[in-house]
Chains A and B, each alone.
Chain A
Amino acid sequence: GAVVSQHPSWVICKSGTSVKIECRSLDFQATTMFWYRQFPKQSLMLMATSNEGSKATYEQGVEKDKFLINHASLTLSTLTVTSAHPEDSSFYICSARARKETQYFGPGTRLLVL
């Protein structure tokens, strides 16, 4: 199957700082990338959908000014958590798919905000 990577795999930051997470499709061109968040013992929740070269579409209740998404190329999307707070601590997972193809997921990034 297709390979999606994320970097970093885990990050610890101080409250009020910003954190950037990268998502890359390694062996295919991803026309669409998705960002999910997963809290302990809960299922994945879709945060936003991004298409290459256009603005991301955010799910209801997700603050677009807090979670900045950039999808500048067909192999890279970034999620920036701005002014992170302890309640933003979570497992962030991206997925990517080529046009009209299956979604493949990255390994996830664990964020801890102190």
Chain B
Amino acid sequence: DAKTTQPPSMDCAEGRAANLPCNHSTISGNEYVYWYRQIHSQGPQYIIHGLKNNETNEMASLIITEDRKSSTLILPHATLRDTAVYYCIVPTGTSYGKLTFGQGTILTVHP
């Protein structure tokens, strides 16, 4: 697996952008970066994924550096409901391989 490194926790004020970083320096050329989040006592929720280009959907934006060794998940206008553990994952081998969950980043959104 391409190992990912995330800060253990981050805070964000409601209404502001939340920028969650992830390092994946050993990622190989055909491996995707996936982001999931887990709200307390629920199953993980898919957010977004990308290979090399920046991606945006209704939930978030994903910015991947040109060398692909790191990425940033951006929640443009964080709400209290965005408080969760955010996982940055590089699946084993292929874009649809096994997901290995690390400890993720606990994002706390404050009023």
Interface of A toward B, CB cutoff 8 Å = 1, 4, 6, 32, 34, 36, 43-46, 49, 91, 93, 95, 97, 99-108, 110
Contact = CB atoms under 8 A, between A and B. Distances in A.
Given A4-B43, A6-B43, 18 more contacts: A34-B98, A34-B99, A36-B101, A44-B38, A44-B101, A46-B98, A91-B41, A93-B44, A95-B43, A103-B46, A103-B99, A104-B46, A105-B36, A105-B43, A107-B42, A107-B43, A108-B41, A110-B41
Tell me whether chain A's interface is mostly helix, strand or loop, or mixed.
Answer: strand
A1 B46 contact: yes
Contact of A43 (B34, B41, B94, B102): B102
Contacts of A103: 46, 96, 99
B106 to A, nearest CB: 11
Interface in B56-107: 87, 94-96, 98-104
A91 B94 CA distance: 27
B44 A102 contact: no
Contacts of B94: 100
B28 interface: no
A43 B44 contact: no
Contacts of A106: 43
A44 B102 CA distance: 8
Contacts of B45: 105
B47 to A, nearest CB: 10
